[in-house]
Chain A
């Protein structure tokens, strides 16, 4: 993660996010705010959320990303998603659900020696795609998979 990107994010998000956090009584420790990309997790637009998280404006679809998720999820509250990729030099894996109130679900920053693999369970409000993004160098690659949700997991 380059320092310029960090700086850019700080400049653009700190003012707004701090005010929101204080207003909601959610002021978190400074270290946490610096790490957790609040802008990306608040963004409603998928492309903008990816950009906020990776700093990369353009992304291309890739068949080298493999998403494992059920075709039909009986319970939208728990949808197991795993992402693997053959892309060399991957540094980040993002998982998004574009039809959720907040598309950005999880972001995995791969550390030293980490394989390009991440698995977690996500919530899906309704039927839609699961989008996986892999960042390698300055480039981002995306892939998606449709998941049919029979009972939503967001909202009550």
Chain B
């Protein structure tokens, strides 16, 4: 993949790392209908987002079709330092996935 589907930003402030991520994904809930054909659009959404840092899982987020298109996920953790690598990966209900690594600012 030329460009990652995840935009990952992590910043240290007062000992706390704030992680913000924007993932490009349609997040189809399966409830929507195609306006032209009237057929249901099959569900296609991210089920799991995992963020790791320093060999530890800092967050495991379970998402569903109820999360907005191109989901934004943000959380905070203690124990990170500027320059540390941080990785985030997602999986969806079709078995697709992506991973990205960033450095904490």
Residues of A in contact with B (beta carbons under 8 Å apart) = 24, 26, 28-29, 32, 35-37, 41, 77-80, 82, 97, 100-102, 104-115, 117-123, 153-156
Return chain B residues, CB-CB under 8 Å to A155.
31-33
Task: Indicate the size class of the contact surface on chain B.
Answer: 35 or more
* Interface status of B87 (Cβ within 8 A of chain A): no
Partner of B68, one of A37, A82, A114, A122: A122
**CB-nearest residue of chain B to A110:** B59
Interface residues, chain B, with chain A CB atoms under 8 Å away: 16, 29, 31-35, 42-43, 47-48, 51, 56-69, 71-80, 91, 93-95
B61 touching A106, Cβ below 8 Å = yes
| Docked complex Cα distance between A9 and B59 (Å) | 21
Q: CA–CA, A11 to B75, complex, Å?
A: 32
Q: Which one of A35, A97, A102, A114 contacts B62 once the chains associate, using CB atoms below 8 Å?
A: A35
- Shortest Cβ-Cβ A-B pairs, 9 listed: A105-B66, A121-B68, A119-B74, A115-B76, A111-B58, A113-B79, A109-B60, A107-B62, A114-B77
Residues in B neighbouring A105, C-beta threshold 8 A = 63-64, 66-67
Complex A-B: 29 CB contacts under 8 Å: A28-B47, A28-B95, A29-B95, A32-B47, A32-B91, A36-B47, A36-B62, A37-B62, A79-B68, A82-B74, A102-B65, A106-B64, A108-B62, A109-B61, A111-B58, A112-B79, A113-B80, A114-B58, A114-B77, A114-B78, A118-B73, A118-B75, A119-B75, A120-B68, A122-B66, A122-B67, A123-B29, A123-B67, A154-B66
| Cβ-defined contact, A101 with B93, below 8 A | no
Which residues of the other chain, B, contact A78 by a CB distance below 8 angstroms?
A: 68-69
B56 — which chain A residues lie within 8 A by C-beta?
111-113
Shortest Cβ distance from A42 into chain B, in angstroms?
9
